[in-house]
Structure 1
Amino acid sequence: MVIGTLKQAVSQSVQEMLEEVMGRRREPAEFRVEPPSLLEHGDYSTNAAMVLAKELRMPPMRLAERLAVKLRENGLAGGLIRQVEAVPPGFVNFRLDWKKWAEEEGQAPADPAQPEKIIVEHTSINPNKSAHIGHLRNAVIGDTLVRLLRRTGCIVEVHNYIDDLGNQLADTVVGLLHTGLRGEHARFGDFCWDAYAWVNREYAARPALEEERTKVLHALEEGQSALSWLGLLTAEKIVREQLQEMKRFGIGYDLLVWESSIVKRGFWKAAFGLLQQTEAFRKVKEGAQAGCWVLQPAGETQEEAEGDSADAGYQAAKVLVRSNGILTYTAKDIAYHLWKFGLLSEDFHYAAFDGEVSTTHGAGEQEGVFGRADRVINVIDYRQAYPQAVVKQSLEALGYPEQAGRLHHVSYGVVSLSPAAARELGVDTSDGRASYAMSGRQGVGIRAADLLQRMQGVIGQERGEREGLPAEEIAAAAIRYYLLRFHLATEVVFDLKQATELTGNTGVYVLYAYARAASLLAKAAEDSVDEGASARPGVFPEVPEPAEHALLRQLSLWEDTLRTAAAELAPHQICTYAYELGARFNTFYSALPIRSAGEEQRRFRLWLTRRFKMTMGEALEVLGLPAPERL
C-alpha cells in the first residue's frame, strides 16, 4: 500500500520535527497523502507541512523543506521514494522508484490479528412479489460489500431477512384470495405483483378487505391455520424466484432468516423480558397509543412522554408491540440483532434451502454455526434510518454499548424513474417532475428480470461478434456496474436509455479494457520471439513515457483504494478506480507500440499489460463482474 507506506514515513519524520521544536514526540494532526492532479507535480504529494504550520505558527515552506530533509535522512520510505522536493505554498512532492514498487507491491506480510466476523444483511425483499430495480440496487451494494470485506481478510456471513409476517405479504394473500385477475405471467411473483397492486387499489372501495388483512396478519403470526399455510407457501415460492433472480447477477447468501422463526423460537419473548428490566421500555397507559409497548427516546423522561405531548412524543417506529398484541417490524429486528451479536441463549434451527443456502426452519437441526458476530452491517435505504437508530438505542438501553457501536447502517438513496421511464410504464408525467417514485402498491416499477432481458437485447444488437462472453452475463455485469457507480447517498434516477449505454463510464467499458489486455497478451505469447516478456518487467525505463507513467501510478493506488473502500463501506470507489484504470490502459494501448516495440520496451510494456490485467481482474472480482478473455 503506497499511501500507507508514505504516510507512515511522513508521520515518523513529523514526529521527529515536533520533538525538535517542542521537546516531545507525539502523533501529528491528520494530514493527506494523495496523487497530485498533474503528473509533472510528482507521483504523490502531502500537505503535512501546511497542517503543521498552523499548529506551530511557522512558515509552511520552511517546514516543508525541513520535512523533505528528514525524509531523506530516514531513508526515503525504505527506498520507495526516488526524489522528494518541497514546493510552494508548502507541499512536499514525491517521485517513486517504480522498480522498487514493482518488486515489493503485494509482498507485505499478512495481518497476524484474528480476523473479525461480520454479518452483512442485504436484499431482504418482502416475499410478496417479484423484485424491482430498487431491490436490485440494495442487493448489488450488499454483495459488493461482502466481496470487498472478504478481499480485505474479514470473515463474512451473508443474511437475507425474509419478512413473512408483514403487511405486504398479508396484502398479497388477500389479493390472491379475492382478485379476478387473469392473463399470462412468466412467474408467480409477477402475478403477485399485479395482485398486490390490485388489492391496494381495492382497499379504498372495500373496507372489509382491510379487516381481512388484519385477520391474515394474526393468522401469519399464529402460524397454525390454513390461512397461515397459504401465506407460507406464497412466501416460499416467491423467495425461490427471488433467489434465482439474484443468482443471475452473481448474488448469493449464507442464511435466510425468516421473521416467523424469530417469533416461534422465542427470540422476542427473551428480548421482551430483557427490555422490561430497563427504564426505556414501558407500556403506554393513555392517549392514542394506549396499550402499546414503546421504547422511550434517549434523554426523554417518562413524565415528559406522558405530558401534554404524549401522543406526539412517539413516532411509529418506537412502538414495539401494538395495542392489539401484534409485534412491529422493529420489535423483531431488536430480537434478531441480539441474536446476531450472540447475546441471546436461544438459537435457530437450520435446514438446507434449494441446496445452496441455509435457512432458519422449525423442523431443522440446531447447529450453532451462524451468528455471534463481531460487527453487523445492514444495507437498507435511507428511509429506514430511524428504525435502525431504534435498534441501536435498544442495544444501548440493554447495556450493550460496544455492540451498538459496531452496528452499522449502510444507507443509500432510493431508485426512482426518469420521466421517460415513467411514461413508458404509463405514469402521468404532465406535472413535469424530474423523477417519479416507484410504488409496489400502484404497480409502478421496472422488474429486475425485465431489465435484464431488455439489456440483453441491447447487447445482442450492438455486438458484432457472437463469440466470447454470453450476452446475459454482459447484461448482468452492465446493470450491476450501473447501480454501483453512484455514491451511496445519491438517488438514482433510472433512465432506460442511460442504463443500457455501452460506452463511457459503464460496465461494458471496463470489461472491454480487460479483454483487450487479455487479447494482447495472448497474441504476444503466439509471437515467434517469446521472451517471457509479460512475466517480468526487465529494465525499467529511467523516464517512463507519460502513458506508462499514468498507468503505473493508477496501478499503485489499488491496494489503498481497496482498504479505503472497505473502511468507508463505499463500493462506488471501486467503480471509480476501475473506470480510471481502464481509461489509463486504453490510452497506453493507443499511444504506444507494444508488440512491435524494441526488445526492452516490449518486455516492459507487456509486463505492464499483465500487471494491469491482474489488477483489473481483482477489481472486477470485487465488483462481482466477470473477467472475460474475449468479449
Structure 2
Amino acid sequence: MYFKIKSEAQEALKKAVNQLDCEFEDEIKLEFPPNPELGDLASTVSFQLAKHLRKAPNLIAPELVEKTELPEIFEKVEATGPYVNFFINHDIFAKQLLDSVNEDYGQLDKVYEKIILEHTSANPNGPLHIGHIRNSILGDSLRRLLTMAGREVDTQYYVNDMGRQLAMIVFGMEELGLKLEDQPSEKIDHKVGELYFKVNQILKEDDSLSDVVDATIRKYEGGPSELDEKFEYAVNSCLEGVKETLKRMNIIHDAFVWEGQFVRTGIVDKITQELYEIGYARKEDVLYLDLTEYDIDKHLVLRRADGTSLYSTRDIAYHIYKCKKCDKVLDIFGSDHKLAAKQVSIALEILEVTEPNDDKMEVIFYEFITLPEGSMSTRRGVFISVDELMDEAVSRAKEEITSRRPDLDEATIDEIAEDIGIGAIRYYIARLSPEKHITFKWDEALSFERGCASIQYAHARACKLLKKAQEKNGIDLDNIVVEDNWSLDDIEKELVKLIAKFPSLIEDSANIKRVHPVAQYCQDLAGAFNRFYKAEQVIGSDVENARLILVEKARITLRNALDILGVNAPEMM
C-alpha cells in the first residue's frame, strides 16, 4: 500500500516541480519521518532542487506545497522547514489497505534474477554444533526474504567429501576397525562425530599414523577405487543426521554439491594449470597463488607437495560452477573466512570469471555465537550440538507452557513447545545484524514478554479473538463489510500504518540482504497489535466488522513476517 501512496505523492510533487522554472529529471525521494507528528511521508526534494533554482531548500518547500495538487488518499501536505510532509487520510487509507491484504501479503512482483545462496556447508565429520547455527539461520532466512522479494533462489550445501577430517573417519573404519553402529549415540551424525573424536585421539598418540591418512586422501583423490564406497557411506551417514537437524529447524536445501566432482572431472587440474600458465601460480615445495600485487601477502596454496588439492582450490572450482548457473552468487561465511573469500574472489578475477568490482559475488560475514559459561553442558564435554540446543529450548518452553496452561493435554503442549523453542532460537539469532557477536541467553530468548514467544503470543491472541467472533456471532470474515462510520483512533492508525509498511520493508531488507529489520518489524507489529487488543473493544462494538477485519489482516501480516524468519505462528498458546 505504501508503494501506491509513495507513487501518488511522487507524481503530485513531480507535477508541482514542473511548474517551477528549472530542468529536473532526478527521482523524487520520499521517506518515513522519525516523528508521526511530522506526517506519514516526507520528501527532501527541496534539497535536490536547491542547486537548480539557486535558492535555499526552506524557501523552495512552501512553493512546492502551494503548487501540489493533493491526491485523495492524503489529508494535507505541509512544509516544515526544507521538508515537504504528506499526511494520510487514514479513514480512506485503512479501507484500501485492508482490501489489499490477502494470504500472500508481502509477496512482491517477480524480479528476473537468479541467486545461488550457499549456507551451512559444515564438514561431514559430526553433528551441527552451535558454531554452525547462525550460518544456517541467516542463510535460510535470507532465502525466504529474497524469495518473497521476487527473486529466484537456489540454496546449496557444499559438501567437503575430500577433506582430511573425512579421510580420518574412513581410516578409522578401514584401518582401526571402528564401526559407526558401535558408537553410543542414537543419532547417526553423532555416531560419526564420536568415531572422528576417537580417531583424532589415536592420531595424537601415534604421529606415524598420519602418513596412512595422507595416503588415504591421495588414493581417494586419485580416482575410482574401493575407497569410494567407504567415503560415500561416511558422508551420507553424517548428512542423514544433519538433514534431520536442519529439518527440525525449518531449513531445507535445494541441493547438496559434493566437492569431489570438481576433482574427478578434471576441473581442478584445469584451473591450477591455467593459473600456472598465465603466471600467477608459483611452484616451490607446493603450488601456490601469488597475490602480492593485490596487497595480499599470504599465498593461496593450490596443491600440496604430494600433489593433492586443498579445499581452497576446490572452492575456486565450485564458485566457477556457481557463477555459470546464476546471476548472483551469495555466500554466508564466518568472519574468520574473510581472507579465504578474498583470495577466491581474486582468483576468479584472474581467471576472468568475474570482473573487478562487479557485484556478481557477494559474501555476508557473521560473528560467532556463544552460550554463557555454565548455562548448558554436553554429555561428552566437547561441543554443544544444535540437537542439544533445540532439545533444551523445547524443554524450557514446555515447562513454561505447562505452568501457564495446565488445561492443555500433553500432545498440544508438546506441539506448542516445539514451535516456541525452535522459534526462540531462530528469532534470537536473526534479530541482530550479522556483524554483531551473540551471547545466547535463555531468559531473553524464551521470554513471553520480550522474546519471540511474545510475538507468537500476539498471533495466538488474534486467532483466539477471531475464533470467538465466529463461534459467538457466526461471523464470516470473507463476507463482512467495513462500517461507514469507522473513523480510526491513534491506536488503530498505528496498527494500520505498520501493516502497510510490510511490503516496503521486504523490498528494503532484500536490497541490503539483511533479515534483522524483519525481526524488529515483527516485534513492532506484535506490540502495536497488543496495544490495540488491550485498548479497543472488538466484539460488540459499533465498528465490530472493521476491527475484526483489522485483527485478521494483522494476523496474516504477522504470520507472513514470522515465516520469513522460519518461525511458526501457533494458533494457541
TM norm. shorter chain > 0.5: yes
1:323 paired residue number: 305
Post-superposition Cα deviations, 1:517-566, rounded to whole Å, max 9, x if no partner, equal 11111111223374758854333644x22211110111111001111111
Whether the 8 Å contact between 1:175 and 1:195 is mirrored in structure 2 is yes
Query: Which of 551, 558, 580 is the aligned partner of 2:495?
Result: 551
- How much does 1:7 deviate? 6.7
Cα separation, 1, equivalents of 2:351 and 2:507: 33
SS at match of 2:115: strand
- Which residue does the alignment assign to 2:283? 284
The 8 Å contact of residues 108 and 503 in structure 2, kept in 1 or not, is answered as no
Alpha-carbon offset, residue 340 of structure 1: 1.6
Separation in 2 of the partners of 1:400 and 1:204? Answer: 42
TM-superposed CA distance for 1:294, in Å, is 1.4
Q: So what's the TM-score if we normalise by structure 1?
A: 0.79
Write the distance in 2 (CA, Å) between the matches of 1:246 and 1:586: 32
Shift of 1:314: 4.3
2:363 aligned to which of 409, 434, 444: 409
In 2, are the aligned partners of 1:14 and 1:28 still within 8 Å (CA)? Answer: no
Distance 1:190 1:291 in 2: 35
2:396 is aligned with 1:450: no
Aligned to 2:550: 608
- Kindly provide the amino acid, as one letter, of the partner of residue 549 in structure 1: K
Partner of 2:251: 251
Residue of structure 1 aligned with 2:96, choices 91, 103, 108: 103
Question: For residue 516 of structure 2, what is the aligned residue in structure 1?
Answer: 572
Question: Does structure 1 residue 122 correspond to structure 2 residue 67?
Answer: no
Match of 1:620 in 2: 562
Alignment-derived partner of residue 503 in structure 1: 448
Counterpart residue identity of residue 95, structure 1 = F
For 2:452, the aligned partner's letter is: G
* 1:25 to partner: Cα distance: 1.8
Distance 1:413 1:561, change over 3 A: same
Greater Cα offset, 152-161 or 10-19: 10-19
Partner deviation per Cα, 1:104-161 (whole Å, 9 max, x = no partner): 6469999887622211111111000011122122112111111112112222212111
RMSD between aligned residues: 3.3
- CA-to-aligned-CA distance 1:429-474 (integer Å, 9 cap, x gap): xxxxxxxxxxxxx964311111111112112211123437443233
Give the residue type in structure 2 aligned to 1:266: G
The amino acid of 1:559's aligned partner reads P
SS at the partner of 2:208? helix
State the one-letter code of the partner of 2:534.
S
Q: 1:283 to 1:235 in 2, by over 3 A?
A: same
Deviation per residue, 1:229-267 (Å, 9 max, x gap): 433321110011101111111111221101112211232
Corresponding position of 1:267: 267
Equivalences for residues 241-390 of structure 1 within 5 A: 241-276=241-276, 278-279=278-279, 281-285=280-284, 290-299=285-294, 314-316=297-299, 318-342=300-324, 372-390=325-343
| Structure 1 partner of 2:83 | 91
User: What TM-score results when the alignment is normalised by the length of structure 2?
Assistant: 0.87
- Distance change in 2, residues 1:573/1:126 (3 Å): same
Structure 1 residues 114 and 577: CA distance shift in structure 2, 3 A: closer
Q: What do residues 346-369 of structure 1 show as CA deviations (whole Å, max 9, x unaligned)?
A: xxxxxxxxxxxxxxxxxxxxxxxx
Aligned AA (2:391): Q
Tell me the amino acid that sits aligned with residue 34 of structure 2: P
Unaligned runs of at least 5 residues, structure 1: 301-312, 343-371, 427-441
**For the structure 1 residues 534 and 137, does the alpha-carbon distance in structure 2 shift closer, same or farther, using more than 3 Å as the test?**
farther
Provide closer, same or farther for how the CA distance between residues 502 and 495 of structure 1 changes in structure 2, counting only shifts above 3 A: closer
Contact 1:596 1:602 in 2 (8 A): yes
Q: Quick one: which of 480, 484, 491 aligns to 1:539? A: 484
Provide the C-alpha distance between the structure 2 equivalents of 1:407 and 1:540, rounded to a whole number of angstroms: 54
Residue type at the aligned position of 2:374:
A
Q: Are 1:588 and 2:541 an aligned pair? A: no
**Unaligned runs of at least 5 residues, structure 2:** none
Kindly indicate whether the alpha-carbon contact (under 8 Å) linking 2:107 and 2:503 is maintained by their aligned counterparts in 1: no
Give 2:65's aligned residue. 68
**Structure 1 stretch displaced more, 262-271 or 178-187:** 178-187
Cα drift, residue 59 of structure 1:
3.5
Classify the secondary structure of the residue corresponding to 1:207: coil
Task: Report the Cα distance in structure 1 between the residues aligned to 2:513 and 2:535, rounded to whole angstroms.
Answer: 36
In the TM superposition, what are the counterparts of 1:180-219 in structure 2 within 5 Å?
184-200=184-200, 203-219=203-219
The alignment covers a number of residue pairs equal to 556
Contact kept in structure 2, 1:11 and 1:27, CA below 8 Å: no
Deviations 1:595-617 (A, max 9, x none): 1312xx21221111111012112
Q: In 1, Cα distance between the equivalents of 2:186 and 2:352?
A: 50
Higher relative contact order (CA 8 A, sep 6+): 2
The one-letter code of the counterpart of 1:551 is: L
CA separation in 1, counterparts of 2:347 and 2:143? 26
